[in-house]
Structure 1
Amino acid sequence: MSYLTKFLSSSLLLSLLFISTKAANFEIRNNCPYTVWAAASPGGGRRLDRGQTWNLNVPAGTAMARIWGRTNCNFDASGQGRCQTGDCTGGLVCRGWGVPPNTLAEYALNQFGNLDFYDISLVDGFNIPIEFSPTSGGGSGKCQALLCTADINGQCPNQLRAPGGCNNPCTVFKTNEYCCTNGQGSCGPTTFSRFFKDRCPTSYSYPQDDPSSTFTCPGGTNYRVVVLPSGISSFPPGDGWSQERRVGS
């Protein structure tokens, strides 16, 4: 192998190593006129009042990750308490996944082809509207802003209604028809999944809703997750998201 070939090979390896080890930044923002308690796995949790943001750095290679908002929470001075939707381990700082119903921003970084995979999922139901979008390295094609801002809670079918949110049918009925527990190809769209899909076309409406719900950006892209009021397609700069009631306050 020539010196030049060795040099180029070494440079390529170093470049790939740099790409694969660069952390992604997630700007989590509350754009609603009420308090939301942001949660992230990995990452923990934080109270976000209107207009506040939380910047989260996530290592390259992280998979099966999610960000969501919790609502109507009560935490004491030690950070212990419960939330009406999205509750996780009974604390402000999450150490697991949230309890449905909760709208999810899901992602896996630097996967096949050094691509990030991301989506908005309603497979755990819906509690608050969100936007999930790249802030660098994308903006078109399969690397684009995703929105789920319909009034799903207000229009939720009676069978799926829950305090503060709208359940996915899998949570309620727990059958293969809705949960796809028997593997790939064992289930398909249903009347309930179409309710979600019609209102949020780019979001997962049932577990095998992949073709129209999974998006990719180049590895190293940064992202923004914004909680939004229902029924809007964009958010004005400077507004925010969140709401908390502390025990004893």
Structure 2
Amino acid sequence: MYMDLKSTTLATLLRLAVLNVCSFIQYAASQTATTPELEIPPISDNRTISIVNNCSFPVYPAVLTTNGTGPYTTGFYLPSKQSRNIWVGWDWSGRLWARTNCSFYLVNATTSAKIRDVVDNFTIPDGQKLAGNCLTGDCGSAVECQLSGLAPTTLAEFTMTGWMEQTFYDISLVDGYDLDMKITPFHDSPEKPRVNNTPICVASTTLSSPLSGTDLYQNSINESFSFNNIHRWCPRQNLLFNSQKGKQSVFPYPDDNDPTIGGGWTPCLSACAYSQSEWDCCTGKHDKAETCGPNLYSRRAKQVCGDAYSYAYDDFLSTFAVPSVKGEGFEVMFCPGGVSTNILKTLLGSGSTSGLEFLGRGLWVSVIVILGLLLSGW
């Protein structure tokens, strides 16, 4: 779901619930690379989100709360191949993303002269201030974000307790794409993932890899994409950079004439982030589903990431739901590898999985939702 402030309203949750039911029936101050241990305040009836950096480079995960009890941190440094847990309240709604290519440093508060590089800013000495920024997902000169990240950025979005006691979640490319992402909901523990409710978006040829072992088993509903499918899905004008030749970056430029790059990728601005038009952003006179449809960017994004939000009203093929229960956990992984899932479209159009079988697997919104709406006269 497109998690701006309006998406937390009851009307939006009702609409998401109905869209899910109808489609189913048819079908997140040190100079070292070590992150300090923090004392975690207790949160009643909390939900755990494990943030995993599976990338070959460090990132700065960030969290923005739009409603409810937010986590103990809104941003931190996460080295490659490491993870950290955050806890949010049962009433939490918000978004989570990774900032890339970040550089933070302390400067003199008066003269702005650089003093030294830092990784985290838990303690800033008197007379100094933090400076620096990130290439994607930037929220200003701060390790802990107070604002949403600048586009383009791949988002994980959550409403922990929504309509009919469901947790709604999604991967969103509405603000653009910068990193591959995977969201895994856990039933009781990380050893019990709800595997058929695990959306994966892999839009980078350099970060993708063939599925094998448990990954292949746990993600049986996958749509594999060839090199050419992924290589140029982003409209050229939406690319964040014109060229990356000769530059050191986690985003090499997809240049057919440079075999050493091998079809890498650069961040991709969404149509809304690029043009800011009412049509592309579904605002103004186009602020409803009837007057705002998919554009070139969203169509191509949907081709490579079938389970991800591609524009504001891409609800029924993008929103996942599981029962909201105490202790329910989630894992958000950056650079998961493998291939993109196309679970919702596959189930909607497949005769191999019936609606009842699908409900039994956990990705469901009860038919009672529709009955309740009808009885209430909605």
Instruction: Please tell me the TM-score bracket, short chain as reference.
Output: 0.7 to 0.9
Distance 2:139 2:278 in 1: 26
Aligned residue for 1:217, secondary structure, equals strand
- Larger-Rg structure: 2
Does the 8 A contact of 1:202 with 1:212 survive in 2? yes
Change in Cα spacing, 1:122 to 1:27, as seen in structure 2 (3 Å) is: same
Counterpart of 1:58 (choices 62, 65, 88) is 88
Distance 2:163 2:339 in 1: 34
1:177-188 matches, cutoff 5 A: 177-181=279-283, 182-184=286-288, 185-188=290-293
Q: Percent identity?
A: 34
1:90: how far off? 2.0
Tell me which protein shows more strand as a share of its residues: 1
Is 1:32–2:55 an aligned residue pair? Answer: yes
Change in Cα spacing, 1:196 to 1:47, as seen in structure 2 (3 Å) is: same
1:140: how far off? 5.8
In the other structure, the counterpart of 1:204 is 309
Aligned residue for 1:171, secondary structure, equals helix
Distance 1:229 1:118 in 2: 18
The amino acid across from 1:172 in the alignment is Y
1:73: how far off? 0.4
Distance 2:273 2:340 in 1: 28
Distance 1:93 1:80 in 2: 13
Distance 2:135 2:81 in 1: 22
Distance 2:140 2:311 in 1: 25
Which ranges in structure 2 are unaligned for 5 or more consecutive residues?
Answer: 1-43, 66-72, 106-117, 122-129, 206-229, 242-265, 342-378
Aligned residue for 1:33, secondary structure, equals coil
Is 1:47–2:151 an aligned residue pair? Answer: no
Counterpart of 2:158 (choices 93, 103, 107) is 107
In the other structure, the counterpart of 2:213 is none
Larger relative contact order (Cα-Cα within 8 Å, sequence gap ≥ 6): 1
In the other structure, the counterpart of 1:15 is none
1:33: how far off? 1.0
Count how many residue pairs are aligned between Structure 1 and Structure 2: 211
1:154: how far off? 5.3
The amino acid across from 1:69 in the alignment is A
In the other structure, the counterpart of 2:103 is 74
Distance 1:229 1:105 in 2: 14
**Normalising by structure 2, what TM-score?**
0.53
In the other structure, the counterpart of 1:228 is 335
Distance 1:133 1:140 in 2: 7
In the other structure, the counterpart of 2:204 is 151
In the other structure, the counterpart of 1:122 is 173
Distance 2:131 2:91 in 1: 31
Is 1:189–2:294 an aligned residue pair? Answer: yes
Aligned residue for 2:50, secondary structure, equals strand
Change in Cα spacing, 1:151 to 1:215, as seen in structure 2 (3 Å) is: same
* Residue-by-residue CA offset, 1:169-207 (whole Å, 9 max, x unaligned): 011112232111132121112222111000000000011
In the other structure, the counterpart of 2:141 is 90
Distance 1:60 1:229 in 2: 27
**Normalising by structure 1, what TM-score?**
0.79
- Most deviating of 157-166 and 201-210: 157-166
In the other structure, the counterpart of 1:139 is 194
In the other structure, the counterpart of 1:219 is 324
Distance 1:232 1:200 in 2: 9
Aligned residue for 1:84, secondary structure, equals coil
* Residue-by-residue CA offset, 1:25-80 (whole Å, 9 max, x unaligned): 000000011111111114411111111111000111112x0110111100113454
Aligned residue for 1:170, secondary structure, equals helix
- Most deviating of 221-230 and 166-175: 221-230
Aligned residue for 1:47, secondary structure, equals coil
Distance 1:217 1:198 in 2: 25
Change in Cα spacing, 1:83 to 1:108, as seen in structure 2 (3 Å) is: same
* Residue-by-residue CA offset, 1:4-30 (whole Å, 9 max, x unaligned): xxxxxxxxxxxxxxxxx5211000000
1:89: how far off? 2.7
Change in Cα spacing, 1:229 to 1:214, as seen in structure 2 (3 Å) is: closer
The amino acid across from 1:148 in the alignment is C
Moved over 6 A (4+): none
1:88: how far off? 0.8
Distance 1:82 1:228 in 2: 21
